[in-house]
Structure 1
Amino acid sequence: MSRGRIADSLIAGAASAVVAWPLTTLFTPNTWIRPMLGMVFAVVLVGILARMLTTSWIAIAAAQLVGVVLAGSWLFGRGHLWHALPTPDMVLAFNNLLVDARETIQNYAAPAPTNRGITLAIGLAIGVVATIVDHLAVMRRSPALAGLPLLTAFLISASNSGESLHPMFFIAAGGLWLLMLGRQGIASLRRWSTTVPMSTTGRRNTDDHDGAYGYAAVGRTLAVAGLVAAVVVPVVIPHFPTRYLIDGLGRSGNSTGFSDGQIGLKSTLDLTKSLNNPSKAPVLSYTTNAAILTPLRVGVLNTYLADTWREDPDDVDYGRRTTVNPPPDLAADVPRETYRISVEDSRIEAPQIAAPTPLVSADLGRVTWGLDRNTSVATVRRAARSYSFSYLALNPTQDSLAQDRQGATGGILQEDLQVDPASQDILSRLVDDVVPQNASRIEAARAIQKYLRTDGGFTYSLKLPETVKNQFGQDERPDAISLFLRSKTGYCVQFATAMVMMARQAGIPARMAIGFLPGTADKGTYTVRSSDAHAWPELYFQGIGWLRFEPTPSGTQNTVAPPYSLAPTTPGGGSSATNTATGGATTSAPRTDGRNDPGATDPVSTTGSGSTFGNWFGPRTRTTVLWIVLGLLIGILGSLAVPLAARRRLRRRLRHAPDESTRVEIEWQAMIERIGDLGVIPPRGSTPRQAGRFYQREAYLEGDQTEALHRVVAGVERSRYAPPGATIADIRTDTQTVVKAVSGARRRKDRMRAAWWPTEGLIEWRERRASVGRILRRPVVRFQDWREARRDFRA
């Protein structure tokens, strides 16, 4: 049975299964666990049986992969089998399931729903990982290399969770990997030859037979220390911004998904999560001939369900067109101006692309692109680093905006009028209070924007409250929209969501748009950074189309309300050019603060005398200082460990000495070791008097130093040879004088080595390690003794 290596195979399979444990934070419910365990069990079982039949690693790995395919077919391919064997039809079925899994990962934030495709994908992936781990750890006997596929599988879930994982996920995976390492190390040690005689039972006649116990004790100590350090150290050191691997799950509810490579906005927005991931990474730079800048839209979200915005499936006709037809719902008589924007060094990942709206022409080179038929959102097949668009800046008249709220809505989606049922009561009351009864569509939209932006007493903050007080002073946890409207605290996502729902409650089609603010100007070139991410509402007007509104207060992000969204100041039409009383200026000033939304910490003031302090002691500087302080602290504690252990050992030995003679002998041996640390070592077997003459000659002692050495030698000789009851003099003071004198005659590096690396301290640490090893080894010894006793009893 040893050829099957059952124990090693089971440990490798357990490690492969445990690294999938963090996936429970990404998918719900956890119905994928049992099928995944079935796949791992198939790999382990096939590996054990195959090793009993052959030693060819190619044949064993091939058999395990066949086992993965068969197990997957039996678990997921029912109805597509021929006498329990997979058919070509099953391949097509698996392809459809895997496509469903990919779409789920791309369209949902964690935790995503578990469907058959997700279950199949996890099972196949972990099955392949288990095969690789089994090959490396069991066949190749290289558990260290097996840690690479285990780490890869673990990081896929850890990197995409968006939040810190429970330490048990890491401890379980790391513990099993260390167990594989330990077993392989002990097996390698026992393969070495030995001259230790064996007993009749086959065991060597030593307490630590073949040295395996001592080796295992040290290994266990290091393993436990390493796991504890890996869990504790990240708690006290600063964290870098989280990076993500893929869209969808990779951008959880509290992340923006920015990385050092390509950048993308998540396709879902969770109103219950705060945003605390700062990033100043540039997204793109552009030039434009527009006098008034407009945000760059990336996507549109229509469906709101369970406190989360989700996008609907897209309907895009891809091509390389250079002209775009005007929106079908845009009347020809709407005043407009055409502007052009040229983008360079875009780092937005496909299929997203930042563009103003509505578009009339495009130049994306060889990149195929298209407009979603339902939302008019630009989408690309592959990322475009440089491109240019021409777009329309609409300036609708007051007469064209003065539409009935319940009027015709054209070809909008049904979701654009759906109100969140959980918050409908508070929305209905607010709309009745804020919107005049006979208000037109534009009047209702302006009233809602004005209420959220200036009149309602709302506060901008990236830290969201979790509860709100009711009329009785008790804490309540309502739905996300009700919580925002009652606490009046939130960031752009909450402001935009509230306006969308209030507009829908008032009968106006509305939806959520996500993208970037115009950015910061420098010599005519605008730079958009990840901290410029923003969300805003779009409302539908018949004959015009979707118009942007801005309910987020202007004092936080330099958000600027469009001219048509502000109440006119002159009779007969035309919007106000500047109207701070109703919500902010209409011109777009370049951003200089870099405040982040969504995806950053609370805004930091850059005005006044505090700006210089902030520049010198910003987050990066504080992080560097913290690293330096932490390193110095660890260095100081580490450098004191051995000297303190030496001092403690000497004091303990003196405290437990039974008589004065023993104390003198301990002081003499301590002096010899301390002088030996300085590099002055007397010949082996020297008597105290011979050692004294050697020290006097080598260290050039004279005067009081010589007399102190003579007293030490005389004290040692008296303690050894004096009759019982004789008075023994204390030599501790004289030993210190001799050591100091010898140290003064030595080189500086010898003195430093003796002070920070004393032999007494090293002996103390070795004894502590041996003591811990004996404690850890005790249960193993007892178990082996019990097993031998049981074997002898059966014999």
Structure 2
Amino acid sequence: MTAPTTLPPSAAAPASGSPPGTPRWSTVLAPIASGLAVLLAGAATGAVVAGSAWLWHAAVAVAIVVVTGALLLRLRPWLAAPGQLAALLLLVTGWFTSSGMAVVLPGPQALAELATLLGGAGTQIDTGLPPVAATPEILLLVTLGFGTLAIAVFGLAVTVAAPAAAGVPLLVVFAVPTALQSELLPWWSVVAAAAGYGVLLLLRPGRLRQAPGGIAVVAVAVAGALLAGVAAGAVGTAGRFDAAGGAGGADGSIGLNPFTSLRGQLTRDEPRDLFRVQGLERATYLRALTLQTYVPQEGWQAGRPAPGVPLTGPLPPSTSGPAAEQSVQVENLGFRDYWLPVFGDPTAIGVGSESWAYDAAGGIAYSERPREEDGWTQAMRLPEPSAEQLRGASGPVTVDRAYLDTAGVDPRVAQIAQQVSADAATPFDRAMAIENHFTGPGSPFTYSLATAPGGGGDALVDFLTRGRTGYCEQYASAMAVMLRAVDVPARVAVGFTAGDEGDSGRTITTEDAHAWVEAWFPGYGWMTFDPTPLADGRTIEPGYTQQAREQDGGTPAQEQPPAPEPSAAPPPPAGDGAQEPPPADGQDGPGDTAGSSSWWLPILAGALLLAGLVLVALVPGWWRRRQYAHRAGLARAGGPAAATAAWDEVLAASRDHGVPVPPGDTVRAAAARIIERHDLAGRPAEALQELAERVEASWYGGLLPAPDTLDGLVDEIRTAIAAGGSSLRAKVLPPSVVPESVRRHRTGSGGSAGSDASGASGAEEPAEAVGGTGPTDAERR
């Protein structure tokens, strides 16, 4: 067999796999797109961080990551991610500390400063409401968060060249403010996030010609998302039951905090009508659900309701004693949830669906799936006991003892409750004394949707002794715990006030979302108390509380001075002797159930874990690039190892893109298989045939390739094979890097003991005369 000793070299394609003729400047598109995508997806951060300073810090962090990665990628791809992490650390050290060595080098003191700032960020988030102030602590958290996620996106979109997979960390950027902000995010944040993902997919070499179609697809997706958001206009308490096989908690608790929805409804820019009620003769609270369980440091939690009775017949009353009976009609204007709100003590509910049940013990009408009924009718009892009757209530406690549970509550809370109700002789008088502590003349407590930050480790104690500012969640939560501390069964109710009277009945809106307290008395059942000091007339005061204030002359309970901050009883230590952290999600009051106080630590840890997983995912791709660089260098140098290195790289590229070459194929058979299966034509097919001839000439004829004759052919063939498309697996875990022994085990086939047929070993010497490798020494002779 003969082969030419010299053949004209082919034009080399870029090592990155860009099509021939692609401008060199286009290679910077992917790094720029990765940074721009992170910033666009993170635009929703403006909903949880005040001002625009966060944007500047995020932009600088992302820019540092992108520039560092682009520079290191040209030197050694595996250096990109570690170098980006180092650059980010240098940035935050110089920007946020005053003790860095040479300003930017982090020493022990600088790291301690950063740790203190991060701890401060957690405290500020714990004690504030979004949007939180852009303090140095918050800005450090933003800088680290955006920088870390930019590293993840860069690694997937640029280093591994898998931009579709980079949508996962982009989702993290968008999901964090979505989870923290109870209101709907502005429409432009959705558009920005979708545009960021579109930019990531379109701004790549070889994809610019597809930009018009890609832009059209992204625009249609954004429009669809916006329309879906507008259509989903119902409001609810955002509860979720743990149905069999569902994703809820193992204890059957609802998945989302009802207080989160409560605050979200109260802080809406534009109120939304929820119900229109006809026939309500007296203003009464509309109850959606009740909360039985109080968890110290976490707040009130709603458990799964007890098995209920269908709403198709009469309902068992949960109260007794004097009551007014009436019926109402409720028109649903925009409420969809697991709960069907009810007035008072319902005795019958007429609703179209048969999926609802009523838990009399909890006072809850519920369904296993969220529903939006057009309307319903309700017959009810509105209890009307007198103050004297409730004072005389006596008998055993027949409700669940869980309504008296105060396990783990700070002893200072019980001390305050006992001091406030020290002169009260009956459970009813204790309830009135505690309510007047919050609402009576001279009370230091004020109503505000922005709760005051506390300085201690227990949010309930902070609210009662330091902050003394909050909205209905804080007041109802505090009073219910205090009632239990003085042996009065209590629970928190969440729902709505009675709304505004109009020509067509009462209209209840999102502004009427409210929480109050229900206390239980023997012989009478659950009675309403409201400790929230509202000044807008929305508070509903039952007749028995009015009578009690008139009988007391408005002085004993209402004018007593605020309870002094107790110091005799120290707070109970946690299991390890340390004070438990305050509640999370920016809710200062004890009703915060959305998570622990250090929610930012899991988020930061999750971001770092994500970056670590990305680094691990980058290893196979980095190893594959290293193999290519090694083989390309050998092919470019010419000589004895050039032909084997060039042929191994072509076989590896073919395997990576779904066409492995069987070990029994000859060089020419392997070339024909690759041309056919990858649909190569024109110059790429000619380049492969030319390379096969040169490989045969080297292996069998001893005609060694000259320098700079094979590397161009290899790059041209690789580019043509890649142009046919590739899977995400081929980019993240290229099949050619799987060791030969692993492939044998998976396929059950044999193989040579020498050079890997797909180039996994990167061997420089041939082993056998088949499509995967070169000839043996005997064949060569």
Q: TM-score range by the shorter chain?
A: 0.3 to 0.5
Query: Could you state the TM-score of these two structures normalised by the residue count of structure 1?
Result: 0.41
Which one has more relative contact order, counting CA pairs under 8 Å at least 6 apart? Answer: 2
Larger radius of gyration: 1
Q: Whose helix proportion is higher, 1 or 2?
A: 1
Query: Could you state the TM-score of these two structures normalised by the residue count of structure 2?
Result: 0.42
